[in-house]
């Protein structure tokens, strides 16, 4: 019986040793897992910090870009044509003022006749339209596809006559402004520049 007890005691000691070893291994694994979780948390925190710093940097860059364009100057003036009569046309037609006298900021396109706002803000536009025959003449001013102004004149006596108008418009960046001649109407221009289209930025939004 003493021998059997000794054997069982030895087995118990082996089991306890194995259990202790497994407990130590489990503790080591738990410690490694904890370290891994801490590292993951640190990486997540670092990633969040980097994202925040990136957002702040992008914000500063945008502000710098905005500051860099605060003093951007936008102004243009253009004459209609040297060809004499323009129109009448069968349908409403955008007027292309092809003689550019000034185009600071390159916002006016002398090929299409459209001014495209490079900055959001308030702009002033004016135009003069001339003709020399009796009858009505008129010009639409458009903001994008919206008619804003219709300036109409009657030349009752014949000979050179003109009409003029001006307007302040609030534009978003990319908005277009143009003049259009209604169907059956006509204008006149030559090297003396009777018909003009002008505009400039008053201030930014």
Mean of the per-residue pLDDT values of the chain: 84
Q: Which pLDDT belongs to residue 140?
A: 96
Q: If DSSP codes are grouped into helix, strand and coil, which group holds residue 4?
A: helix
- pTM here? 0.65
Task: Report percent pLDDT > 90 for the chain.
Answer: 52
State the DSSP H helix or E strand holding residue 99, giving kind and residue range, or none if neither: strand 99-104
| CATH architecture of residue range(s) 73-204 | Sandwich (2.60)
Reported as a single tens digit per residue, the pLDDT across 59-72 is: 666 655 554 544 58
Q: Which pLDDT belongs to residue 115?
A: 98
Mean local confidence (pLDDT), 99-104: 97
Q: Which pLDDT belongs to residue 63?
A: 58
Q: Which pLDDT belongs to residue 105?
A: 95
**Residue matched to tokens 């109407």:** 185
**Is the pLDDT reported for residue 39 higher than 60?**
yes
Q: Which pLDDT belongs to residue 8?
A: 61
Mean local confidence (pLDDT), 37-54: 71
Reported as a single tens digit per residue, the pLDDT across 71-89 is: 589 999 999 999 998 989 9
Confidence of residue 205 (pLDDT cuts 50, 70, 90): confident
Lowest mean pLDDT among 6-10, 144-148, 166-170: 6-10
Q: Report the candidate in 122, 204, 205, 201 with the shortest Cα–Cα distance to residue 169.
A: 122
If you write DSSP's letter for every residue of 5-68 in order, what string do you get?
HHHHHHHHHHHHHHHHHHHHHHHHHHHHHHHHHHHHHHHHHHHHHHHHHHHHHHHHHHHHHHHH
Contacts of 163 (CB under 8 A, 6+ apart): 128, 129, 137, 138, 139, 151, 152, 153
- Within 13 Å and on the Cβ side, how many CA atoms surround 43? 6
Whole-angstrom Cα distance, residue 204 to residue 81? 32
Confidence of residue 43 (pLDDT cuts 50, 70, 90): low
Every domain of the chain and the residues it spans: 1-71, 73-204
């Amino acid at each position: 019986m003493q021998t059997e007890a000794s054997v069982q005691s030895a087995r118990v000691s082996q089991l306890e040793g194995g259990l202790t070893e497994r407990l130590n291994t489990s503790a080591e694994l738990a410690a490694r897992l904890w370290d891994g979780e801490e590292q993951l948390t640190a990486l997540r925190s670092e990633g969040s910090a980097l994202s925040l710093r990136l957002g702040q940097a992008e914000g500063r860059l945008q502000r710098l870009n905005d500051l860099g364009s605060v003093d951007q100057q936008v102004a243009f003036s253009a004459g209609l044509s040297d060809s004499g009569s323009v129109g009448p046309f069968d349908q409403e037609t955008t007027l292309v003022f092809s003689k550019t006298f000034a185009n600071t900021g390159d916002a006016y396109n002398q090929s299409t006749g459209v001014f495209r706002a490079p900055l959001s803000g308030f702009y002033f536009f004016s135009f003069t339209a001339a003709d020399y025959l009796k009858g009505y003449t008129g010009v639409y001013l458009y903001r994008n596809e919206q008619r804003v102004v219709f300036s109409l004149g009657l030349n009752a006596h014949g000979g050179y006559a003109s009409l003029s108008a001006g307007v302040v418009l609030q534009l978003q960046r990319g908005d277009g402004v143009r003049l259009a001649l209604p169907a059956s109407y006509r204008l006149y221009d030559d090297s003396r520049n009777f018909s003009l289209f002008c505009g400039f930025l008053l201030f930014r939004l």
